Amino acid sequence: MSKTLVAYFSASGVTAKLAKLLADTIGADLHEIRPEKPYSSADLDWMNKKSRSSVEMNDKSFRPAVANKVENMEQYNRVFVGFPIWWYVAPTIINTFLEQYDLTGKKVIPFVTSGSSGMGNTNAELTESCKGAVLCDGRRFNTNVKATELKAWAENF
């Protein structure tokens, strides 16, 4: 029997809501990716070039520390990874999360939230962080997505 994990990072609660719905809909375990240092609203001010998120996203090598780890990651063969789109890619904390595990043989499936941006270069930016895994094409979801749509999408993996 396959085990599925839905791991997510949510800065404002939007991605958390989607991740919980996905996990409930497909019967997966749920894991919140929490930054060691939580983001404040000032940190998330993308209009400020000196805000924490702007500084992190301008340095592709930056890896914010994650406060928690998934126990027994080896038990999962599918890992849905959810996050908000920042600057047309995943926040660098997603790279941190993925790089701390041996993902060999696992399917990694991104799902994202965004006010208006698409997936952009998300998969290209995540490829190196998913060594040994099959990085599947991700998808952006609206906040009003229905469980039936999520289930139909997830069944493709």
Query: What does the pLDDT look like over 23-72, one tens digit per residue?
Result: 999 999 999 999 999 999 999 998 899 999 889 888 989 999 999 999 99
Half-sphere exposure of 140 (CA within 13 A, CB side): 18
Residue 81 has φ and ψ, to the nearest 5°, of -120, 115
Instruction: Enter the tokens of residue 46.
Output: 């993308």
Contacts of 25 (CB under 8 A, 6+ apart): 147, 150, 151, 154
> What's the pLDDT at 2?
67
Give domain 3-155's CATH number out of 3.40.50.360, 3.20.20.105, 1.20.120.1200, 3.30.390.10: 3.40.50.360
Sign of CA dihedral 60, 64, 79, 116: negative
For residue 110, name the pLDDT band (cuts at 50, 70, 90).
very high
Helices (H), 5-155: 14-26, 52-58, 92-99, 122-126, 147-154
List the one residue out of 92, 140, 150 whose CA is nearest residue 116. Answer: 140
For range 66-83, the mean pLDDT: 96
pLDDT above 90 as % of the chain: 83
pLDDT surpasses 50 at 1: no
pLDDT surpasses 80 at 77: yes
The predicted model scores a pTM of 0.94
Domain ranges (residues) in the chain? 3-155
Look at strands 78-84 and 134-135 and give their pairing: unpaired
